[in-house]
Structure 1
Amino acid sequence: FDRQIVLPELLYAEVIEADERVGAYGEVVRALDEAALRRQLQAAFDAGLRAVAIVFMHGWRYTAHERTAARIARDIGFTQVSASHETSPLMKFVSRGDTTVVDAYLSPILRRYVDQVAAEMPGVRLLFMQSSGGLAEAHAFRGKDAILSGPAGGIVGMARTAEQAGHGRVIGFDMGGTSTDVSHYAGDYERAFETQVAGVRVRAPMMSIHTVAAGGGSILHFDGARMRVGPDSAGANPGPACYRRGGPLTVTDANVMLGTIRAKYFPAVFGPHADQPIDEEVVRVRFAALAARITHESGRPQTPEGVAEGYVDIAVQAMAGAIKRISVARGYDVTRYTLQCFGGAGAQHACRVADALGMQSVLIHPLAGVLSAYGMGLADQTVMLERSVEAVLDAEAV
């Protein structure tokens, strides 16, 4: 039992209960009280709210009441009106409502960004990446479709560049600063149609991606008995200890300690004034202190290099385990696949991860560090529509 429950942060500030009900077969059980709804929405608008999500029972199929409520909200002046029959016209009230709330929450932020970009580039046709792996026109780009658009670009880039290099079956290994995204490709994109993102359920087409909390910025822990990597991250600020901003030891620092990362190959952009090289000395000092502590508390002699090696091995096993969940656990033989590594930290661990999985081939594209952005340029413009169909399953219906 958790004695200190931390409740999730809600995406909405207020709930309005509309006096209406439409039955499962379209019969109006209770007509929508438009006057009462207008008063409630006006009060919310006067309180400073500008976005509204509308979801009614059976509204995915019988849309009249949702359309009326949306019209009232727009008449009052709400700048973002998301109705469930437009955002997620599918059965299941709760997931339809969750998706509509996400869309109402994200779309105003997204719209401001899109409008700003459009204002800076007049006359230019703008296309934006969606979580489904396709591009959308600016006017059709919605919040619910943008949640995993960055990683989706990575999968498109991975698949297209792998095919160009003659690799038809690839495991994507996208390692960044906070986490690692892994994906499977064998000729067709794999998509999930209901996903939980940051604890919020979203029902929208998204590239199938498995994420593990192991990245270049994952913090190294020792609790007196065991070594642990992550799940917390040092981020970009303060960043790893070698960034000269007083950050904690991370996977990146372990690679500095092992010589995988060498200061002479990096520009002098670190420190408070972004004008110093990577600090190798502080990494050596910090790992020496950590090795001494582990030696004292465990009774087993440890060297700084051995400790760094151990932490990297822990991270590698976590990432290899994630790949097994999307491949071996589903019946795929990873030894017949190519491991394609990208992201800022992917290439550092490519061979270790491949060895842990028994993979014989590793592909690192020249643009591996920016492959997600490159993949957006390779993506096709697509429109994906969903709807629930109630029909007898026979040849004619199919």
Structure 2
Amino acid sequence: MTEPKWEFWIDRGGTFTDVVARSSAGELQTCKFLSENPESYDDAALHGIRHILGVGEGERISLDQISAIKMGTTVATNALLERKGEATLLAITRGMGDVIEIGYQARPKTFALNIEKPEKLYSRVIEIDERISADGTIQTPLNLEGARAGLQDAFDEGFRSIAIVLMHGYKFLQHEQQLAEVAREIGFMQISVSHEVSPLTKIVARGDTTIVDAYLTPILRRYIDRISGAFVEQQEPGQILFMQSSGGLADAAKFRGRDAILSGPAGGIVGCVHAAKLAGFDKVIGFDMGGTSTDVAHYAGEFEKLYETEIAGVRMRVPMLHIHTVAAGGGSILKFEDGRFRVGPESAGADPGPFCYRRGGPLAVTDINLCLGKLQPDHFPAIFGPSQDQPLDAEAVQREFARIAEEIGANQSAETVAEGFLAVAVEHMAQAIKKISVSRGYDVKQYTLNCFGGAGGQHALLVADRLGISKILLHPLAGVLSAYGIGLARIHTERQKSIGTDLDQELMQKVAHGVAELEALNADDLAAQGVAPGQVTHHAQAILRYRGTETTIGVALADPARMIADFEEGHKRQFGFLAPEKDVLLDMLVVESEGGSWTRPEVEIEPEAGPPLPLASSQFYSGGEWREASIFDIADLKAG
């Protein structure tokens, strides 16, 4: 008899790790654990798998019981934010050693007297004697012996990760390939080459992306090795998958640092859109409020992506879902200083966590909702305290807000102080939503607000009211929707090809050849991850811009007239004007390929015969007064 197989969909967030387990019969189980709980387990994701399978902590797990593990992780994001990646060597064309540090000479704070530049990700630079011009002419041949000596010296110093970025290397590969081979012979463990990582123009963004890949991939690799080492057997291709920033899955062996920055939030957007479509909504604002931050995204028929962005002071040129993040999560720290309320950007995280967690943490947004009665300790897991068997500490939270109220004076109560902090947090979230909607020409009032994440439902009405949104969607799995979305995602790969030529009919033959080339490469990539050729689908997109500008807009690949019309429509909506005197360029060709998905069948639910019966009633504080509310178990709620 064949043993039942499980699928695990896991989102390892900054505060909580969410686990959705699907049995062979299609039933779903969910659980949630603190991402950091060193007293009880080494890794929250593995702890969740062991918990479902009934395996003891520390015991190895048999993959015979598991068909797939799909995971999103913040390991790379945290390493980037905290600058705890691998010591990285940068090898770049001679004379360009400072170009990454100089960047675009942008000054985000124009009037700041004390200029604080972001910390560099690379620790040492080696300038390589070589130069290929823009037309492919070799101006300076590659000095392999000199390069070998420099790389060997860095290797002897202890460097094991190298980023190779040469002028025009995105188009003329030979020097980068030869240098990578030398690094491989010397023994470098991580070799990130710009024409593989980001084969596009602009050496600054291409270089930064390649450095990020070299800086983060070894950290990811160690985490993946730790996950893999917890199992008895060697995993098959496609059995352990990780979520990429682009919204698709990649086999653990193919998962790279450049693709991991938005690993967890990307799963939330996939789940958000799936839930909205099932409910009949085609325009949706995703509102994912977790323990550390709030992620918001806009959807109006297709996933929106960015191909160049800046995260944690680092420019990156890889495909990412367009997600805007603000530091306003359940763990965002509250401070009253200089006569004003402040929320974030610092977070209490999972350890020590908010004040109510009984671990000596600071006051946080979660404590606000506990003080106001929106969180009920009796209906919250009793997993706190030294023995992990105590409820949230509501009394201590009440005393702490009362202390701040006494400090403020003016007859303030603990509840009015908590509401003041809440108003600040809601404003942070509302402004984030405006940035990805109103500021880009979309009327947010025509959208449905899909709230999810552990703290999303607690703030749904206040955020919707602040924005004038009349419809709110709360999925039954809203608390773990990012993990659910990771489970619904497909194995995905994406390649880009730089074109930079006027968009006209003569170009289309070159475009067709480029699309076929990228589709073949993507198909080979997916086959190596266990996807059968018949399951693969391709989607081609053209990234267009006006000549002499930097702003690009993506359109579906079609004939030139149709693409230009779509480009002008998008440009008019976003910027309010057109520039008919400028030529339209095909800046970049993008081919996305994916396969290997599972879609949960829709379940018919019998309508409720009458109004549901509440479990209990309780009071919550809102708008300056206490109000009565009923408490329901979501498992008892039916359709209608």
Normalising TM by the smaller chain, what interval?
over 0.9
The match for 2:368 is 254
Q: SS of the residue aligned with 1:384?
A: strand
Q: Which of the residues 110, 113, 118 maps onto 1:8?
A: 118
The match for 2:248 is 134
Q: SS of the residue aligned with 2:506?
A: coil
The match for 1:374 is 484
Shift of the 241–329 alpha-carbon distance from structure 1 to 2, 3 Å rule, reads: same
- Note the 1:50-89 alignment, pairs <5 A: 50-89=160-199
Deviates more, 1:229-238 or 1:86-95: 229-238
CA distance in 2, matches of 1:177, 1:197: 20
The match for 1:103 is 213
CA distance in 2, matches of 1:48, 1:273: 43
- Note the 1:139-218 alignment, pairs <5 A: 139-218=253-332
Q: Which of the residues 302, 306, 323 maps onto 2:433?
A: 323
- Note the 1:276-295 alignment, pairs <5 A: 276-295=390-409
Q: SS of the residue aligned with 1:15?
A: strand
Q: Which amino acid aligns with 2:381?
A: P
The match for 1:220 is 334
Q: Which amino acid aligns with 1:122?
A: Q
Q: SS of the residue aligned with 1:391?
A: strand
Retained in 2: the 8 A contact 1:288–1:304?
A: yes
Q: Which of the residues 345, 365, 368 maps onto 1:231?
A: 345
Q: Could you tell me how far 1:275 is from its partner in structure 2?
A: 2.6
1:211-243 CA deviation, whole Å, 9 max, x = no partner?
111111111111242112111111112211111
Q: Could you tell me how far 1:127 is from its partner in structure 2?
A: 2.7
Shift of the 353–390 alpha-carbon distance from structure 1 to 2, 3 Å rule, reads: closer
TM-score normalized with structure 1 length: 0.95
Q: SS of the residue aligned with 1:396?
A: helix
CA distance in 2, matches of 1:392, 1:361: 44
1:317-365 CA deviation, whole Å, 9 max, x = no partner?
1111111111122222222211111111111111111111111111111
- Note the 1:267-282 alignment, pairs <5 A: 267-282=381-396
> How many matched pairs?
394
Q: SS of the residue aligned with 2:497?
A: coil
* Structure 1 alignment gaps of length 5 or more: none
Shift of the 115–220 alpha-carbon distance from structure 1 to 2, 3 Å rule, reads: closer
Q: Which amino acid aligns with 1:21?
A: R
CA distance in 1, matches of 2:305, 2:356: 38
The match for 2:412 is 302
Q: Which amino acid aligns with 1:113?
A: Y
Q: Which amino acid aligns with 2:308?
A: E
Retained in 2: the 8 A contact 1:84–1:97?
A: yes
The match for 1:29 is 139
Q: Quote the sequence identity (%).
A: 59
The match for 2:494 is 384
Structure with the larger strand share:
2
Q: Could you tell me how far 1:88 is from its partner in structure 2?
A: 0.7
TM-score normalized with structure 2 length: 0.60
Shift of the 97–245 alpha-carbon distance from structure 1 to 2, 3 Å rule, reads: same
Does residue 359 of the first structure (1) align with residue 472 of the second (2)? no
Q: Could you tell me how far 1:381 is from its partner in structure 2?
A: 2.0
The match for 2:552 is none
Retained in 2: the 8 A contact 1:192–1:205?
A: yes
Q: Does 1 or 2 have the higher relative contact order (CA < 8 Å, sep 6+)?
A: 1
Q: Could you tell me how far 1:4 is from its partner in structure 2?
A: 5.6
Q: Which amino acid aligns with 1:32?
A: L
The match for 2:524 is none
CA distance in 2, matches of 1:16, 1:391: 33
Q: Could you tell me how far 1:5 is from its partner in structure 2?
A: 5.1
Q: Which amino acid aligns with 1:245?
A: R
1:250-272 CA deviation, whole Å, 9 max, x = no partner?
11111111000111112221123
Shift of the 390–240 alpha-carbon distance from structure 1 to 2, 3 Å rule, reads: closer
CA distance in 2, matches of 1:396, 1:6: 48
Q: Could you tell me how far 1:122 is from its partner in structure 2?
A: 2.5
Q: Could you tell me how far 1:378 is from its partner in structure 2?
A: 0.8
Deviates more, 1:1-10 or 1:380-389: 1-10
Retained in 2: the 8 A contact 1:88–1:100?
A: yes
Q: Which amino acid aligns with 2:459?
A: H
Retained in 2: the 8 A contact 1:224–1:294?
A: no
Deviates more, 1:134-143 or 1:254-263: 134-143
Does residue 122 of the first structure (1) align with residue 237 of the second (2)? no
Retained in 2: the 8 A contact 1:96–1:203?
A: yes
Q: Could you tell me how far 1:181 is from its partner in structure 2?
A: 0.6
1:19-75 CA deviation, whole Å, 9 max, x = no partner?
111112111111111111111111111111111000011111111111110000001
CA distance in 1, matches of 2:170, 2:204: 12
Q: SS of the residue aligned with 1:320?
A: helix
Shift of the 113–244 alpha-carbon distance from structure 1 to 2, 3 Å rule, reads: closer
CA distance in 2, matches of 1:365, 1:373: 13
1:79-115 CA deviation, whole Å, 9 max, x = no partner?
1111101111111011110000001111122223334
